[in-house]
């Protein structure tokens, strides 16, 4: 891919177009990111650019982590991620939101909100049982999970309670509505995965639909 950047979700708002239409947008702090390592096919078996994002106190890093930033002459950062970017990059190079422009289509990747261990109603949108005295206290229970007499087992893939959320999700073909270089902010039309503060990867759309 030709352009990509790391960012952080700040929240959602809405803006007005010149035609007076309301557009819901997600506010993303996009960069600045700094190149901390360059992977090459000769040395590492593949080509990639390792970038770092968001300042962090040096005391929170281990010695090997500090060495990465010292070598690249970059201030300590919280997040490090590899991006398969095309083109020539140098250690310590700055990548900011200027790589994108208004009207660009992007794919946004992030982790969805985690809900922990959830029951059937919350996780799978099951209906509850009748709220009558003769039916309790199992109004939100699963009911029968196995087969009848034969085979007396729970089939693989049965929808049951369990961990819900905190999955990596990519939303494709979102439009960049505005680029604020002074604040390092992108306004992206629509919603993106995660809650406020979620780490996001914004990259050019691989299935551009115009």
Q: What is the pLDDT of residue 43?
A: 85
Q: What is the pLDDT of residue 161?
A: 92
Residue ranges in the chain whose pLDDT is less than 70: 209-210
Nearest Cα residue to 191 out of 108, 103, 130: 108
> For the domain 4-115+163-204, what is the CATH code?
2.40.30.10
Q: What is the pLDDT of residue 85?
A: 84
Q: What is the pLDDT of residue 209?
A: 60
Torsion sign across C-alpha atoms 57, 63, 64, 70: positive
pLDDT digits (tens, 9 = 90+) for 80-134: 888 888 878 888 888 888 888 888 899 999 999 999 999 999 999 999 888 888 8
- Provide the whole-model pTM: 0.81
Q: Are 75 and 55 in contact (CB under 8 A)?
A: yes
Q: Are 210 and 198 in contact (CB under 8 A)?
A: no
Q: What is the pLDDT of residue 105?
A: 92
Q: What is the pLDDT of residue 42?
A: 84
Q: Where are the domains of the chain?
A: 4-115+163-204, 119-161
């Amino acid at each position: 891919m030709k352009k990509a950047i790391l960012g952080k979700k700040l929240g959602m708002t809405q803006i007005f177009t010149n035609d007076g239409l309301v557009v819901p947008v997600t506010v993303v702090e996009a960069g600045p990111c700094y190149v901390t390592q360059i992977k090459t096919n000769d040395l590492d078996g593949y080509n990639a650019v390792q970038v770092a994002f968001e300042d962090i106190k040096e005391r929170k890093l281990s010695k090997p982590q500090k060495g990465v930033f010292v070598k690249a002459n970059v201030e300590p950062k919280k997040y490090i991620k590899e991006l398969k970017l095309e083109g020539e990059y140098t250690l310590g190079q700055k990548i900011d939101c200027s790589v994108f422009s208004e009207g660009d289509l992007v794919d946004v990747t992030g982790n969805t909100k985690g809900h922990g261990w959830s029951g059937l109603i919350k996780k799978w949108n099951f209906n509850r049982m009748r709220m009558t005295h003769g039916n309790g206290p199992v109004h939100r229970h699963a009911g029968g999970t196995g087969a009848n007499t034969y085979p007396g087992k729970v089939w693989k893939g049965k929808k049951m309670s369990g961990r819900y959320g905190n999955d990596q999700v990519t939303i494709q073909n979102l439009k960049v509505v505005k680029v604020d270089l002074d604040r390092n902010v992108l306004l992206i039309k629509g919603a993106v995965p995660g809650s406020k503060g979620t780490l996001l990867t914004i990259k050019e759309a691989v299935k551009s639909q115009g």
